[in-house]
Chain A
Amino acid sequence: MTILSVDGITVRYGRLTALRQASLKVDEGETLFITGPNGAGKSTLLKAIAGVVPVAEGAITLDGKVISGGSPEDTARLGFSMVPEGRHVFGSLTIEENLMLGAGMRKDRARAGDDLAAVYEVFPMLKERRDKPAGVLSGGQQQMLVIGRALMTGPRLIAIDEPSLGLAPKVIDQVYETLLELRDKRGLTLVIVEQSSTRAMMTGGRMLLLRSGEIVLEGDARSLARGDTLKKAYFGYGEH
C-alpha cells in the first residue's frame, strides 16, 4: 500500500533548480533512506513534501490526497511528521511544552496524555527534565526530544533529515535503535535522509540516491552496498 507518492516534482529556488522531476513512492511500514552528497536536494525533497518549499511542477499525494500546494500545517494534520535538519527544538519552551505542542492537532486530545506517557517511557531522560527549558538539552537529547515530539502528532509517516548530524556514534546507534523499535511497534513508515549510506546499509530497507537534484539510483540498501554501483552513482558515473 502506497502511503506517499511523489510524482515528477521540480523545486526551484530562484534560478537554481534544486530538484528535477523527482518521483518516488513510499509503502506503508517501510523504511526508505535518501542519501546523496551535499547539495543533492535531499533536504529540499523533504521540505517540498512537508509543504515548506513550493513545488514548481509535479504533484505529491499523501494517503490519496494531493498535498502539494498546501500548507505545512495541513500536511502535518494528514499524518506526515517532519523532523528537519538541525532538530529545531523550541529552546525557551519546556520539554513537556515541546512535546504537547505536537499534540495540538490531534482530534483525540484525550489520547495525548497516554501518548505523553508512552514517549516518557521510551525516553525516561525527558521525563526527568520535563519542566526544564529544552534549550539546556545536549544534541543527542534534543534529537530524542524531536523524535518524541514528532510521535506526539500521532503520525503515520515520520521523515527525519540527518538524524545523526553532530552526534557521537554511540548516540547515533541509540537514535536508530529507538526509531526502528518505534517503527515496528507502531507500524510507522520512516523516511530518513542520511548523507552517509553506511548507516542505511547497516539498518536495511530501501535506499534512494539523489545527486544534483535527480534520483540516480534506487534499490535495496544492503544489495546496493555490495557492488560499487553505489560509489559510482554517488560520485558520478566515471566522471573522474
Chain B
Amino acid sequence: MTAILQIIFDALSLGSLYAIGALGIALIFGVMRLVNFAHGDYISFCVFAMLWPSIDAAAVVFAGNLPTFILIPLILAIGAGLSVLSEILVFRRFRNANPATMMIASFALGFVLKHFLLMLFSSRPKSIDLWSNLSLPVEVAGARIPLLQVITIVITILILLGLTAFLKRTRFGLEMRAAAENFTMARMLGVKANRVIMLAFAISGMLAAAIGLILATQSGTADIQMGVSVMLVAFIATVIGGLGSLPGAVIAGFLIGGVSVLMQVILPLDARPFRDAFVYGAVIACLIWRPQGLFAPKSAKQRV
C-alpha cells in the first residue's frame, strides 16, 4: 500500500512538471500557432538568473540568496520578461509567417539563449542550494514522501486552478480563449492582437520560471541542458493532448509522467535502462490511435 502511494506521488510530481511545461507551450500555440522550442531555454535561463556569472564549478549564488517571498516573484518576473521580450524582438516579425518558419525561429532563439548562458557560466553543471530542507521526507498515510514532491503537486494544482479562474472569469481570459479559437474573428471584434499575444507569452514565461525553480530545488544543480528534456516531453504532451487544447496538454503531461513512473516499476530489471524507449513507444502507439491528439479542439484545423 505504501509502495503504491509512493508510486502515485512520484507519478504526480513528475507529471506536474510535464503538465506545467505543456501548458506553457500550448498557451502560445493557441494564440499564434507557434511551437516555441525556446521554452526549455527559458527554464534554464530562470535558474541561472539566480547565479552570478562565473565559470567555477561551485555556483556563486546571487539572487538565490534573497528571501523566498522576494526570490519567487523575481524569478517569475524574469521568466515573464524574457518570454515577452522574445515575442517583441523575435516572434512579432514572424506573425504572418508559416508555422515551420516560426518554429525554426524559436529553435534559433533557443540556441542564442543557450550559448549566452554558456558564455557566462560555462557548460559545467553547478551545484545550487535552494530550500534543500524541502527534500526531507514527510509521512503521508504511512508512506515517506519527500516534502518537495508534495509541494510540487500542490503548486501545480494551485497554478491550474488559478489559470482556469483567469481564463474563465476575467476579460483577458475570455479574449485569450476567443483568440485561441479564431484569432482573426476576435480581432474583428476589437480584441487587441498584441495584448493577447504578449499576455500569453508572459504567462508561459512564468510557467517556465516555476519549472526552473522546482527543478533546481529538486536536483540541487543548475545545468544549461536542464530545461531541454522537460521541454521535449512537454512538447510531446501538447501533441498527444491535441495541439491547442489546454486541458489536453495538462492531462497528457500527467499521463506521460504516470507512464514513465509506472514503466520504471513494472518493466523487468533488464529492460529498465530502456524505459524511455518504452515510453516513446507508447507515445507512437497513442498517436497512431488518435493522430489528432486525445482532445483535439475543433479550431485546430486552421485559421481563417
Contacts and interface: CB of A to CB of B under 8 A. Distances in A.
Contacts of A97: 174, 177-178
Interface stretch (A100-108, A182-190, A224-232): A100-108
Interface string B39-60: 0000000000000000000000
Contacts of B304: 84, 86, 88
Given A90-B182, A91-B181, A153 B189 contact: yes
B77 interface: no
Contacts, number: 75
A93 B190 contact: no
Contacts of A88: 182, 185, 304
A97 B298 CA distance: 18
A72 B181 contact: no
Contact of A93 (B181, B184, B193): B181
- Interface range on chain B: under 10, 10 to 19, 20 to 34, or 35 or more? 20 to 34
Contact of B192 (A73, A82, A93): A73
Contact of B178 (A71, A81, A90): A90
A77 interface: yes
Interface in A39-93: 50, 52, 71-73, 75-77, 81-82, 84, 86, 88, 90-93
Interface string A92-116: 1100010011101100000000000
B30 to A, nearest CB: 11
Contact of A101 (B178, B192, B299): B178
A80 B182 CA distance: 19
Given A84-B185, A88-B304, A101-B175, A153 B298 contact: no
Nearest to A152: B189
Please indicate which of the listed interface residues A73, A86, A100 has the most CB atoms of chain B within 10 Å of its own CB.
A73
A205 interface: no
Nearest to B175: A104
A232 B239 CA distance: 53
Interface string B179-214: 001101111111111000000000000000000000
B297 interface: yes
Contacts of A91: 181, 298-299
B190 A104 contact: yes
Given A84-B185, A86-B304, A91-B298, A73 B193 contact: yes
A149 interface: yes
Given A91-B298, A101-B175, A104-B171, A76 B185 contact: no
A185 to B, nearest CB: 22
A93 B187 contact: no
Contacts of B186: 90, 101
A76 B189 CA distance: 6
Contact of B297 (A76, A92, A104, A149): A92
A135 interface: yes
18 contacts: A71-B193, A73-B187, A73-B190, A73-B191, A76-B189, A84-B304, A88-B182, A88-B185, A90-B178, A90-B182, A91-B298, A93-B181, A97-B177, A97-B178, A101-B174, A105-B189, A105-B190, A149-B189
A-B interface, 5 closest residue pairs, ranked by CB to CB distance from nearest:
A105-B190, A72-B187, A76-B190, A88-B185, A82-B188
Given A101-B175, A104-B171, 13 more contacts: A50-B188, A52-B184, A52-B188, A71-B193, A73-B191, A76-B187, A90-B185, A92-B181, A92-B297, A92-B298, A92-B299, A104-B175, A104-B189
